[in-house]
Structure 1
Amino acid sequence: MLKNAYSRFRIISILEGLSYLILVFIAMPIKYIGENPYPVKIVGMSHGVLFILFCIFLFDALRKCNWDKGIAFQYFVYSLIPFGFIIIDKSLKKQPQDS
């Protein structure tokens, strides 16, 4: 499942996107409505690590799968949008995979 750059990028894309949704729609309301900043610290740190891994795996997939730099930039921009990971996943199905 995680044997190639394509699979690793696809998995980290989903995990990073889900962590972003948890941060924005669960942890942030708890911070501002419930006046408890602790969930944002935990989820925010986790999301930060996953985002860094996303960028590393994106670069790895760009090189090993011979993707166009424009597609890689597009995936990066999608990662900044809530639910963007769904667009990335659909688009990934059309991209060439490495061996």
Structure 2
Amino acid sequence: MRWTSLLAIYILFWAFSVFLVLPWGVRTSAEMGAEHVPGTAESSPHSFSLKRVLVRTTIVATLLFGLFVANYEFGWVTAGMLDFADPANAI
């Protein structure tokens, strides 16, 4: 696989991982014991650390991308294995 394809796939993994990582460790103002700021949603986070989200996202995306590349190289799961409409793959 070309390096440009790998880069594009990694960027996709990273972008999807952001949505996976965002809810981790979120604490609302009520959970932190702070006053609710008028005009904000009660479920909004009390504080937000962009650096923490970026590091967590990079770690998760790298792990998932590593699994993807290993599967590509070793063929653990192929497209044929996922074709459940094929009678040859019936359990």
TM-score band w.r.t. shorter chain: 0.3 to 0.5
Greater relative contact order (Cα < 8 A, sep 6+):
1
Please identify which structure carries the higher helix content. 1
Q: Normalising by the residue count of structure 1, what TM-score does the alignment of the two structures yield?
A: 0.33
Larger of the two Rg values belongs to structure = 2
